[in-house]
């Protein structure tokens, strides 16, 4: 009875053990690039902050401009601002800036005053002539532009020279004197004021100042 023996070949050492992951990754096949952290950049953060701040300022300024424009448009369209002052109410408010003779002034209570005529070196029976003095007659018109009755009085008037020295009127010295009384709304009257001044006075102003309050008004006499 025979027995079979397989052929004996040369003996080789077993292959070394392999890491299965080495079959997929080879460090030689990849290149690595190093990136700097954006937080460590010395230029990027200040630039971003500057741009962000500039945008914020621009937005705020744009909002303010648009708000002002909207308010202006609403005010113009709806008339929200204070009403336009009555012509003549904003002139003649000071001695240095009196109204001109052809201008009318309006008091705080709505009375309009206009100088109609100035007569210098006038002769008035009730005023005794004095050497070096002259009599001046000023004819005025008063119109009530308000909605209520307004009082007037010729004692509310004075003549001022260039040194602000005052001449008071000769009350009731002439026919047609202004006198005193009240004016209903939308009505007017004419009256005359008589003053005795130093002869030849120039740069005279008519002062209208009521003891019932309100700012005084000044008008050049001529």
Identify the CATH number of the domain in which residue 145 sits. Answer: 2.60.40.1240
| Residue 214 is assigned to a structural domain of this protein | yes
Query: What pLDDT was estimated at residue 190?
Result: 97
Query: What pLDDT was estimated at residue 78?
Result: 47
Cβ-based neighbour number of residue 173 at 10 Å: 19
The answer to whether 105 and 113 have CB atoms below 8 angstroms apart is yes
| Residue 205 is assigned to a structural domain of this protein | yes
Domain count, the chain: 2
56 or 28: whose pLDDT is higher? 56
Mean pLDDT of the chain: 79
149 or 9: whose pLDDT is higher? 149
Q: CA-to-CA distance for 143 and 161, rounded, in angstroms?
A: 26
Q: Which structural domain range is residue 54 located in?
A: 48-78
Whether residue 109 sits in one domain with residue 74: no
In this predicted model, what pLDDT tens digit does every residue of 64-97 receive, in sequence order?
666 656 666 555 554 445 556 778 889 999 999 9
The answer to whether 197 and 167 have CB atoms below 8 angstroms apart is yes
Whether residue 126 sits in one domain with residue 173: yes
Could you tell me the pLDDT band of residue 4, with boundaries at 50, 70 and 90? very low
| Residue 190 is assigned to a structural domain of this protein | yes
Q: CA-to-CA distance for 73 and 31, rounded, in angstroms?
A: 66
Find where tokens 């602000």 sit: 164
Whether residue 215 sits in one domain with residue 111: yes
Cβ-based neighbour number of residue 92 at 10 Å: 26
Section 47-75 average pLDDT: 62
Q: CA-to-CA distance for 56 and 49, rounded, in angstroms?
A: 11
Whether residue 190 sits in one domain with residue 112: yes
The answer to whether 75 and 81 have CB atoms below 8 angstroms apart is yes
| Residue 13 is assigned to a structural domain of this protein | no
Q: CA-to-CA distance for 48 and 43, rounded, in angstroms?
A: 9
């Amino acid at each position: 009875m025979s027995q079979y023996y397989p052929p004996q070949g040369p003996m080789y050492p077993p292959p070394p053990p392999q890491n299965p992951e080495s079959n997929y990754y080879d460090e030689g096949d990849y290149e690595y690039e190093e990136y700097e952290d954006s937080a460590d950049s010395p230029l990027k953060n200040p630039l971003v902050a500057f741009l962000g701040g500039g945008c914020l300022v621009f937005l705020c300024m744009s909002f303010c401009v648009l708000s002002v424009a909207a308010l202006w448009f609403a005010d113009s369209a709806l008339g929200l601002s204070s009403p336009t002052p009555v012509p003549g109410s904003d002139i003649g408010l000071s001695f240095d800036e009196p109204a001109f003779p052809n201008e009318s002034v309006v008091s705080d209570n709505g009375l309009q005053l206009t100088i109609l005529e100035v007569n210098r070196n006038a002769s008035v029976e009730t005023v005794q002539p004095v050497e070096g003095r002259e009599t001046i007659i000023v004819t005025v018109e008063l119109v009530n532009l308000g909605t209520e009755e307004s009082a007037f009085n010729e004692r509310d008037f004075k003549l001022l020279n260039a040194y602000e020295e005052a001449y008071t009127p000769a009350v009731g010295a002439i026919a047609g004197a202004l006198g005193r009384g009240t004016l209903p709304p939308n009505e007017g009257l004419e009256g005359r004021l008589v003053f005795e001044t130093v002869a030849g006075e120039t740069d005279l102003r008519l002062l209208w100042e009521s003891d019932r309050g309100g700012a005084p008004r000044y008008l050049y006499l001529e």
